[in-house]
Amino acid sequence: MGASLDELTAWVQHQGQLAYRGRQLHQWVYQQGARTLLDISVFPKQWRETLADVPIGRSTIGHRVQAPDGTIKYLLQLADGQIIETVGIPTDKRLTVCVSSQVGCPMACDFCATGKGGFQRNLKSHEIIDQVLTVQEDFQRRVSNIVFMGMGEPLLNMDNLLAAVRSLNEDVGIGQRLMTISTVGIPGRIRALAAEKLQVTLAVSLHASNQQLRERLIPSAKPYGLEQLLAECREYVQQTNRRVTFEYILLAGVNDLPAHASELARHLRGFQTHINLIPYNPISDADYQRPGRRRIRAFVKVLEEQHIAVSVRYSRGLAAEAACGQLRVSQI
């Protein structure tokens, strides 16, 4: 998984087979859900049996929890025994997969369960692609959207991220415009992503209206000033002609006052953007509270008065601990 049609064709030819077997292999891996090469019944039996030990790179579902709203959280076991979380989020028109990019996360944001659990390793590109195929197969429905908003910081794993985006686009058939990469911001990496000139949406976890507050919530923000982060975001817009979305977690009494909203609006003046407010989802070892509806409405109103497009991300999957920031491998 992760190999293109050309690469698979070269591989089958190297095995002494005709080129059309490459297309068959591509079809079975990416569309038919083959988990081993033995599954590919159109291959001659004799050849197939010699391929029994060639890994495709699929994970196994260790655990699956369904929330009342239909959202399903999966714990997937990787080849080396590590476990990651993936979430399938269905609506009438869409099936969105929230994929992990790392096992754990090194960013240690104060409000995020994944950050509290520490970091193990980067995911390989096939381990990212596998998550999408797994959700697609389990729901028996085509995945329409991908959000890189699961465990980990995608821009710390650029090579595998970019390889996965390419393959999910060209091999699995999901439009780049239907993919969103979410980052807390790593110096220089948004610029590097912009240079790839992809058509994916960039979402930036801003979460604070000034640098001081941001550093308190996000320790990794210390060497990366808000102005520098926003400057890279502007470059992203220029290079790609795509809008940047900002995510802003709402923590009661911490960053949710109308004054924070106006400060935020000042920073984003003249920026073609959209703010996605995420009312805090409770995690066990943080002391924050989710603001009430009136507080949220007041925050929204200030932004709207400044003509900033804003939406509130109502949490899906809360009951399965599958909502934003709640992913942490806890059981299998």
Q: What is the set of active-site residues?
A: 85, 324
Q: Is 325 in the site for ligand SAH (CB under 6 A)?
A: yes
Q: Which residues contact 31 (CB under 8 A, 6 or more apart)?
A: none
Report CA-CA distances (Å) from 157 to 104, 138, 166, 183, 270.
12, 27, 14, 11, 31
Q: Is 247 in the site for ligand SAH (CB under 6 A)?
A: yes
Shortest reach from residue 157's CB to ligand SAH, in Å: 10
Sign of the CA dihedral with 102 first, then 107, 108, and 111 last: negative
Q: Which residue is nearest to ligand SAH (CB)?
A: 325
Shortest reach from residue 54's CB to ligand SAH, in Å: 33
Residue pair 216/108 in contact (Cβ under 8 Å)? The answer is no
Phi, psi of 101 (to 5 degrees): -115, -15
The packing angle between helices 20-30 and 5-14, to 10°, is 120
Binding mask 277-296 for ligand SAH (x = CB under 6 A): -x-xx-x-------------
Q: Is 324 in the site for ligand SAH (CB under 6 A)?
A: yes
Among 182, 201, 220, 255, which residue interacts with ligand SAH (rule: CB under 6 A)? 182
In the numeric block, which tokens belong to residue 119? 């970091």
Binding mask 93-112 for ligand SAH (x = CB under 6 A): ----------------x-xx
In the numeric block, which tokens belong to residue 172? 């699995």
Q: Is 205 in the site for ligand SAH (CB under 6 A)?
A: yes
Q: Please give the helix or strand (H or E) that residue 76 lies within, else none.
A: strand 72-77
Binding mask 123-162 for ligand SAH (x = CB under 6 A): --------------------------x---x---------
Phi, psi of 286 (to 5 degrees): -135, 155
Q: Is 76 in the site for ligand SAH (CB under 6 A)?
A: no
Distance of alpha carbon 179 from its chain centroid, rounded? 8
Chain residues that interact with ligand SAH, rule: CB under 6 A = 109, 111-112, 149, 153, 182-184, 205, 247, 249, 278, 280-281, 283, 324-325
